[in-house]
Amino acid sequence: VATELQHYFQLLVRKEYPGVQPDEVRVVLVHSGQELLPELLPHHAKLQSWAERYLLTTGLEILRNRRLAAATPEEAVLDSGERIPTRTIISCTGMGMPPVLEKLAVDKDERGRVKTDAFCRVIGTDRVWAGGDCAAVPHPKGGYNPPLAIFAITTGQAIGKNLARLFAPRPLVPNRFVGLGDACSLGRGRAVGHLRGFPFYGRLAGLIR
């Protein structure tokens, strides 16, 4: 969102508002972590590294390890105490886990998601299953599945198949879905992405996206 807005505003002031200099329009990305696009790091570190290097050349202001603490009609107040004059705040934060998960006496990851084994069974149980955004399902290539709809769908399918196998009875099968691909726009027609693990960068990735 930040990269596309910055690109749009720069084009807009050049075409429609000649009295406004492009560098007068300020777009600030407040990021709670250190690395940008951290979701790419576990399996596509080169894509993440390329995207970060490119963004540093665009003029986009990036504030790392910061969070929004408060907002007024005229400014954003960060947890560091810094105040950013603005009348437009766009939130693209992730979601927290439902409070009911806190009461479950099961293993959870650092995000509060319920941990499962490769068969989508909750760790330490025989007949309790979990999938979707609230579940930390092992990814076949390491780490856990990201909170994306396609992984929620496929883990649900895996659970259904294993339930059928459980009552057959037949051996359970692990979840093998690794994803179809990911893409992230970086503005100016550029992007990073991969399809079935094959990486794309820059304008080619922007076209494919």
Rounded to whole angstroms, the Cα distance separating 194 from 178 reads: 12
pTM comes to 0.74
- State the pLDDT at residue 180: 84
**Residue 127 Rama label (left phi>0; alpha psi -120 to 50; beta):** alpha
Predicted confidence at residue 153, as pLDDT, reads: 96
CB contact at 8 A, 111 and 94 = no
Residues of the chain with pLDDT under 70: none
Residues above pLDDT 70, as percent of the chain? 100
